Structure 1
Amino acid sequence: MHLSAIRMFKYIRHLSCMALLLPMSAAQAQTVSNDDASRIVKALTDQLTDQYPFPEISAQYKAALLKNEAAGQYFQLSEAALGNKLTADLQATHKDVHLHVWRDTDRYKALVAPHEHHRGNAADFDAELEADRRGGYGYQRVELDAATSTAYINIPGGFKSSQEAFEMAASAMGMAAYSQHIVIDLRHNGGGSGQMGRFLASYFYEPGNEQFYLNGFYKDRSKDIQEWTYPFVPGHHMPHAKLYVLVDHNTASASEGFAYAIQQLHRGTIVGDTTAGAGIAGGFHALGNNLIVFLPVKMVTAPNSTVGWEGTGVIPDVTSTGPAAWDAAKRLILKDIMADTTDHVGQAAAQWRLEDDSSTSLEGDVLKKKYAALVGTYNKGEVTITAVKEGLQWNRFENGKAPQHYALREVKPDVITILEMNKEYGGPTCSRIYLQRDAAGHIESLIRKTIMTAGTIYTSPSPYLRSGGIAK
């Protein structure tokens, strides 16, 4: 059984905050007897000795705990306080993001009497199932950008491994199936089941080209596990799509494993912050007196290696802090499109986006002064450009319709965006005018262009001519 590190820590922090706000309950305040405390320490050190994958570190844990026990540091403490003290001493000896001890009466009962607990908690199971379904099994949204052939898949929730979770994943990948650029956003994803990461990774290889994804080793090396991508996943495979994975310091455990494997396989680009560094998978064990431990037992590493991301995290290929990671990935995609000389439609769309990103954004009085010669009437009154308090304004008049007014803003010299015009076709900056000048530098006409949703650029069939001739 696996639990995401981030979800576990949030739970522990929640308990700590509650302890500050509310009086301790009788059970929490109940002092653990010295004999019980000693039994708990022995159970914990035995589990570490038997199962922790690094014997030299488990020996350090054991020595530290026994020394502190001999000094009486675990005596006369409440259940919750004993859990906190054991966790602090373990982390002070060697930091393992997964290794924690805490008080959890419900989970403790489930561990010591699983059949009785299951029979008595059908309602809890139904509630958890309903929450998973409402939450899309961690899949929050899929967005398609046809202009750049980009699919963005946001998975902030933990990785689940139920039939319904895989169906949700397959649906998301199905929407992305024919995009040339795939962005998987794992920021805030605390992990969960490693099977989901392998499932997603399998879409980026041809059937029959399975990859050695990750390696898991235990203290007993005869139990080592090789994790490979799957030979079959439902829907279309995307072996040629460019893959980008967004991560941050909340990306942990199994979601880190996906990012790490993709990086080690050189299959995609990792963008964002260094991840949590939780690289040893494990499960829950009961210690006594309502205390449980999440015990790491399987070190997850790169194929044919003993090195993983435990303690260090996944180091991004492109570092970008917090929310800026998605913008950084967009820039990488645009540069990638510009390098592809065969995709003329994509290049034109990418160039448009890059110009928007680097726009001068001139407006207001500065724009009015620079382009004062634009003010006037065009195409026999179909369009006027006027100076208003906010800057320059494009006004369109059509028979039977109310006048339409749009602010103007410079993109670059002699290229001006008509803000919000035709936004249903390609967004708020999809319409522009391009100034055409004569040899003397005077404006003689305007060309209007609109970038459509699919990235094609529509050019008005005839230029906009100023009534009364060339503007001086």
Structure 2
Amino acid sequence: MSRHRHVVMMPLLLLALPLALPASAQTATPAPASTLDAAARREIVGAFARAMREHYVFPERGEQVAAQATAALASGKYDDAGTTAELARRLSADASAVTHDKHLNVFGGQAPQVEGPPLEMPAAEAGITRADKLAGGVGYIEVIGFPPLSFSKRVTDAAMSALSGSRALIIDVRRNGGGDPESVAYLVSFLIPPDRPINDIVSRTEKTNDTTRQSFRSIRTPVSFLKVPVYVLTSSETFSGGEEFAYDVQALKRATLIGETTGGGANPVGPVDITHGVTAMIPSGRAENPITKTNWEGVGVRPDVPVAAASALSVALKKAGSKPVADIAAASMQRVFSPRTTPLPGSGAAVRKLLSAIANGTTIQGIVVPQFASQVEPSLPRRRAELTSLGTLRSVDFYRPDGLGGDEYNLTFANGRRKMALVMGPDGKIVIASSLAPLAPLDPAK
């Protein structure tokens, strides 16, 4: 699940919010957003109230949030919210005060502009940053996200197969922000026999109080670590789907959790277009473990061995009978998986085609999948204006694979530099793409 499809979500907001703000801008200052008059405020609050009534996983709380927002508008509480960004922030805070749901959020206005060097997630391919063989036959893998299995299975198979034969296995989810529950279940499948229950997602049917249940079970994997002791490293930053992985293996008694209590977000979330460029991330489901009959919402996953996250690797190595080393680079004897260094075929051309269509005002149908097209079309005028201000696109340079299984590019325009990530389906159409995030200007002296 992301901090931020029916998925257990992640800070890589690409899974949750089309053309959304990437993690690199999390400490940014908001750019000026569109101004609001009273009529626009009424429309936004009304649409948000309807969305909470129709979508939120717990209908009673959804109704409570809706009634509170409506009353706040009538009382004049939002009268001085002059921009979409400010009104969205207040709606978010008021809703969170009722639900205490860490996945519930409201976004409005343009993407923030980053102050200073952007913060970056580590290089990862389909959520995996590295796999290593450590001293004493210990295997190590870091997983920072769980992209949909159709994007990640090949990479997960390669990394886990490279660790086959390990006498102990360390799985590091300290920086994991979430993802797709099917992918979570697939990684768990490497540790347990096939066809075992792992996790359920109970989802509310839109505009009703009815629910559906989707059950995830283990499946056969190319290699198995069934008889290998497993240590899972956690931190307070482990969130959503990263927490689900830790919770599942702990409930199955299949791993020892070492580190810190996790963030406490267990409700799958998806985007709802409100109006006026405002998007609400509204959880419409909840996780339910088949063993515990509950989840980690609001409390996090408590480790079996509580230690500071920075010490977790050292403690795990000691428990595995190896020399305790805190840094994976120092502990590694052989790195057996690294993210690829070349782009996927056709991804660079897809970037150019999409940006050209947006800049020229032509249709993006046929370039992106229909679901993505319907989600981003309301924002196209604003993005066209942004591209107009940037001027001619001069270069599209592959930077690295992104965490979802796609590619990240550095873009140089006549009037600035940006970066953009995208994921393509097997038919060559774009499944998801990020917003343009600022890059540092090129140094003319270099």
* Matching residue of 2:67: 63
1:99 equivalent among 87, 100, 104: 104
TM-score by length of 1: 0.59
CA spacing shift, 1:297–1:305, aligned 2, 3 Å = farther
* Matching residue of 2:55: 51
> Where in structure 2 are the equivalents of 1:66-215 lying within 5 Å?
66-76=70-80, 77-103=82-108, 135-147=124-136, 149-156=137-144, 158-206=145-193, 209-215=194-200
TM-score by length of 2: 0.63
Tell me the secondary structure at the aligned position of residue 217 of structure 1: strand
CA spacing shift, 1:100–1:5, aligned 2, 3 Å = farther
For 2:134, give the aligned amino acid: D
**Deviation, structure 1 residue 304:** 5.9
**Percentage of pairs with the same residue:** 24
* Matching residue of 2:37: 33
Aligned residues between the structures: 306
For 1:51, give the aligned amino acid: H
C-alpha separation in 2, matches of 1:144 and 1:203 = 17
Q: Deviations over 1:178-197 (max 9, x none)?
A: 11211100111111122221
Q: Deviations over 1:282-333 (max 9, x none)?
A: 1111101110011101101211655211111111111011210111111221
CA spacing shift, 1:5–1:238, aligned 2, 3 Å = closer
Q: Deviations over 1:367-389 (max 9, x none)?
A: xxxxxxxxxxxxxxxxxxxxxxx
Tell me the secondary structure at the aligned position of residue 224 of structure 1: strand
* Matching residue of 1:242: 229
1:17 equivalent among 20, 28, 45: 28
CA spacing shift, 1:425–1:160, aligned 2, 3 Å = closer
**Deviation, structure 1 residue 132:** 11
CA spacing shift, 1:199–1:32, aligned 2, 3 Å = same
- Give the structure with the higher percent helix: 1
Question: In angstroms, what is the RMSD of aligned CA positions?
Answer: 3.1
Flag structure 2 segments of 5+ consecutive residues without an equivalent.
Answer: 14-19, 112-119, 327-331, 335-446
Tell me the secondary structure at the aligned position of residue 189 of structure 1: coil
> Where in structure 2 are the equivalents of 1:405-424 lying within 5 Å?
none
Q: Is the 8 A contact 1:44 1:287 kept in 2?
A: yes
C-alpha separation in 1, matches of 2:245 and 2:101 = 20
For 1:60, give the aligned amino acid: Q
**Deviation, structure 1 residue 138:** 2.3
**Deviation, structure 1 residue 103:** 1.7
**Deviation, structure 1 residue 175:** 1.3
Tell me the secondary structure at the aligned position of residue 246 of structure 2: helix
For 1:250, give the aligned amino acid: E
Q: Is the 8 A contact 1:5 1:97 kept in 2?
A: no
C-alpha separation in 2, matches of 1:286 and 1:138 = 27
* Matching residue of 1:371: none
Q: Is the 8 A contact 2:149 2:183 kept in 1?
A: no
C-alpha separation in 2, matches of 1:194 and 1:285 = 20
**Deviation, structure 1 residue 10:** 8.2
**Deviation, structure 1 residue 241:** 0.9
CA spacing shift, 1:13–1:46, aligned 2, 3 Å = farther
C-alpha separation in 1, matches of 2:135 and 2:152 = 27
**Deviation, structure 1 residue 11:** 5.2
Q: Is the 8 A contact 1:150 1:182 kept in 2?
A: yes
* Matching residue of 1:219: 204
- Structure possessing the higher relative contact order (Cα contacts under 8 Å, 6 or more residues apart): 2
For 1:144, give the aligned amino acid: K
For 1:154, give the aligned amino acid: E
35-44 vs 317-326, which moves further: 35-44
> Where in structure 2 are the equivalents of 1:256-271 lying within 5 Å?
256-271=243-258
**Deviation, structure 1 residue 277:** 0.7
Flag structure 1 segments of 5+ consecutive residues without an equivalent.
Answer: 107-130, 335-349, 358-423, 427-472
